C-alpha cells in the first residue's frame, strides 16, 4: 500500500517539496495531498507590489504553477480553500476545514510537510475592520487593494505603515498610481535592512519620487468614518488617509505546529535540521517562511521570509522525503530591491549585526560608477563593506546605485559565502569592459579601501 505525504501550505516550500518527492516516488509508492487555505498555489507574493502599481497587468502572471498543473502533471491532490486546523502526531492525521463549503475532512499521513508560511504582524489597532486597510501578503490581499483603488471616487491619500521592503515597494506603487503617499516608520529611517548611511540614499530617492517620509513615529490607531479609514493616528497627530497599507513585517505561522508539539526555536520559527527535518519528530519536515534557519556568518538562527529560501528548503525537504539526500546550507542575508530606479543590495551582516554577534570590524564606503566613467549611462554606485579585524574576513556588504547595482551584490555574496578576506578579494578576476565596469570594478575598489582601513588600524 502506498504511503501518504500530507503537505500543509500550497505555496513555494510546500509545492516544491511535493514536486521533488513526486519526481522520486510515483503514486503507487507515495500519495501526496496538499492543503492550501487560499485560492492559489505557488504564486509570487514578491510580485504583488508590481501588480498593484500596474507594471504587471494581470494577476495570473504571478502564478508560477496552478493547481491543475500539480494535479495533472505531478499527480498531487491539491485541495484549495482547505485550512488545516489540527495535527495529531500520535494518530498521524490532520483535520482540515473546507472554507467554502464548510465541514471537515480528516486525513491520515505517514509523512508530514509543514509549510504554513508566515502571518503578517497586526497590532491591535490594525484589527478594526475598517474599509481601506490592507496587508499585502496574499493575492487576495492584492485583489482587495486593487478593487479599493479602482473604486469611484478613487482614494487620493495613501499612508504606508512600515518602511521595510514591502513598505518601500508599496509606497512606490502608490505613487505610480497617482496617489499622494506618506510613509510612516517607527525607527529613525526606512530601509533599515541596510546601515543608516546607505539607507539615507534610499530615503533621498523616495523623497525625490514624492513620498513624504515620517520617521520616529509610532502609530497608535486608525480613525474611521462610515466604516472607512479616514486617518492614521500617531503621537504627532492624525495623518489623513483614504487607504492604508500595512508593511509591518511577518512572523512564522506556527500556531498549528506549536499546538501539535513541534519544537520552536529562539527566533520563533519551527526548528529544523540540515535536511529540513523537524528534530525529534519522526517523518515530519518543514520549510519556508514558517521555519528559522542558520545565518552562516553570525552562526545564529534567523527568520528570513523570502521566496528564494522557501523554494530551496522545499526542494531539499522533497528530495529527502523522496529518498534522496540534500541539505539546506543556511543563509547569509542576501536581498535586493528597487525604489524607482535606485537599486539596493545587501548581504551578510550590517554594522549593528556584526557588533551584536561580537565581531570587531572596520567598515568602508567606496563611491564609484557602474560603467567606465566616459561610457554613456555611467551612474554612481556606492559600495559598503564590513570586514572583520584583524583577519580581513568579509562580514557584510551593501550596494546602492542607479543602474546594474543590485545584482552586483551576488559577487560579494559568493565571496562572503566562501569566507574570503578583503585582501584576497582585491585580486579577484572580475569582468571588465567599458559598458559594464570601470577598469577597477566597484567591488575591487571597495575591497582595496577596506584593506587600507584595516592597515590604518595597525590590524
Shortest reach from residue 337's CB to a copy of itself, in Å:
5
**CB contact at 8 A, 122 and 295:** no
Shortest reach from residue 39's CB to a copy of itself, in Å:
18
Shortest reach from residue 224's CB to a copy of itself, in Å:
33
Shortest reach from residue 296's CB to a copy of itself, in Å:
8
Shortest reach from residue 78's CB to a copy of itself, in Å:
19
| 3 state SS of 82 | strand
Which of 46, 290, 293, 340 is catalytic? The answer is 46
Secondary structure tally for the chain: helices H, strands E: 12, 25
Q: Which one, 253 or 421, has the nearer CB to a copy of itself? A: 421
Chain centroid, CA 228 distance in Å: 30
Q: Which one, 203 or 337, has the nearer CB to a copy of itself? A: 337
| Residue 340 falls in the annotated catalytic set | no
Angle formed at CA 336 by CA 332 and CA 341, multiple of 5 degrees: 160
Of 13, 271, 19, 305, nearest in space to 137 by CA: 305
Alpha carbon distances (Å) from 451 to 346, 359, 386, 446, 447: 20, 17, 11, 9, 6
Q: How far apart are CA 15 and CA 190, in angstroms?
A: 33
Q: Which one, 62 or 161, has the nearer CB to a copy of itself? A: 62
Which residues form the interface with a copy of itself (CB under 8 A)? 12, 44, 46-47, 50, 55-56, 61-62, 64, 165, 306-309, 311-312, 327-338, 343, 345, 347, 372-376, 404, 406-411, 413-415, 417-418, 420, 424, 426-437, 439-441, 443
Please, which residues have CB within 8 angstroms of residue 384's CB and are 6 or more apart in sequence? 194, 195, 197, 198, 363, 364, 365, 366, 397, 398, 399, 446
Of 210, 293, 303, nearest in space to 252 by CA: 303
Q: Which one, 105 or 428, has the nearer CB to a copy of itself? A: 428
Q: Which one, 20 or 189, has the nearer CB to a copy of itself? A: 20
Residue 192: Cβ-neighbour burial (10 angstroms; 0-12, 13-18, 19+): middle
Please give the positions annotated as active site. 46
Amino acid at each position: 500500500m502506498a504511503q501518504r505525504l500530507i503537505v500543509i501550505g500550497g505555496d513555494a516550500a510546500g509545492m516544491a517539496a511535493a514536486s521533488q518527492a513526486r519526481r522520486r516516488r510515483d503514486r503507487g509508492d507515495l500519495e501526496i495531498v496538499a492543503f492550501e487555505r487560499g485560492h492559489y498555489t505557488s504564486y509570487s507574493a514578491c510580485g504583488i507590489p508590481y501588480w498593484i502599481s500596474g507594471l504587471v497587468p494581470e494577476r495570473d502572471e504571478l502564478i508560477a504553477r496552478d493547481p491543475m498543473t500539480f494535479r495533472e502533471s505531478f499527480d498531487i491532490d491539491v485541495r484549495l480553500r482547505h485550512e488545516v486546523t489540527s495535527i495529531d502526531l500520535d494518530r498521524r492525521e490532520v483535520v482540515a476545514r473546507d472554507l467554502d463549503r464548510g465541514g471537515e475532512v480528516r486525513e491520515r499521513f505517514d509523512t508530514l510537510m509543514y509549510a504554513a508560511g508566515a502571518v503578517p504582524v497586526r497590532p491591535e489597532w490594525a484589527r478594526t475592520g475598517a474599509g481601506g486597510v490592507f496587508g499585502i501578503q496574499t493575492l487576495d490581499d492584492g485583489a482587495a487593494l486593487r478593487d479599493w483603488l479602482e473604486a469611484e471616487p478613487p482614494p487620493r491619500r495613501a499612508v504606508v505603515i512600515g518602511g521595510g521592503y514591502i513598505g518601500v515597494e508599496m509606497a512606490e506603487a502608490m505613487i505610480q498610481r497617482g496617489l499622494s503617499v506618506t510613509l510612516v516608520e517607527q525607527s529613525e529611517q526606512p530601509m533599515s535592512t541596510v546601515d543608516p548611511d546607505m539607507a539615507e540614499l534610499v530615503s533621498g530617492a523616495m523623497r525625490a519620487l514624492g513620498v513624504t517620509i515620517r520617521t520616529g513615529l509610532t502609530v497608535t490607531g486608525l480613525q474611521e468614518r462610515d466604516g472607512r479609514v479616514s486617518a492614521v493616528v500617531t503621537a504627532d497627530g492624525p495623518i489623513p488617509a483614504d487607504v492604508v497599507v500595512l508593511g509591518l513585517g511577518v512572523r512564522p505561522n506556527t500556531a498549528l505546529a506549536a499546538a501539535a508539539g513541534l519544537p520552536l526555536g529562539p527566533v520563533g520559527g519551527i526548528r529544523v535540521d540540515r535536511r529540513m527535518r523537524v528534530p525529534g519528530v519522526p517523518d515530519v519536515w518543514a520549510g519556508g517562511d514558517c521555519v528559522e534557519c542558520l545565518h552562516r556568518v553570525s552562526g545564529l538562527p534567523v527568520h528570513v521570509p523570502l521566496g528564494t529560501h522557501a523554494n530551496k528548503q522545499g526542494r531539499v525537504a522533497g528530495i529527502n522525503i523522496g529518498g534522496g539526500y540534500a541539505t539546506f546550507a543556511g543563509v547569509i542575508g542576501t536581498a535586493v530591491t528597487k525604489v524607482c530606479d535606485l537599486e539596493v543590495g545587501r548581504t551578510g551582516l550590517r554594522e549593528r549585526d556584526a557588533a551584536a554577534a561580537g565581531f570587531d570590524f572596520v567598515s568602508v564606503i567606496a563611491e564609484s560608477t557602474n560603467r567606465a566613467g566616459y561610457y554613456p549611462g555611467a551612474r554612481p554606485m556606492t559600495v559598503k563593506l564590513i570586514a572583520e579585524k584583524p583577519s580581513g574576513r568579509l562580514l557584510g556588504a551593501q550596494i546602492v546605485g542607479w543602474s546594474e547595482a543590485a545584482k552586483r551584490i551576488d559577487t560579494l555574496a559568493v565571496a562572503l559565502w566562501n569566507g574570503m578576506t578583503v585582501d584576497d578579494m582585491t585580486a579577484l578576476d572580475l569582468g571588465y569592459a567599458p559598458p559594464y565596469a570601470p577598469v577597477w570594478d566597484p567591488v575591487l575598489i571597495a575591497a582595496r579601501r577596506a584593506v587600507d582601513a584595516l592597515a590604518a588600524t595597525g590590524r
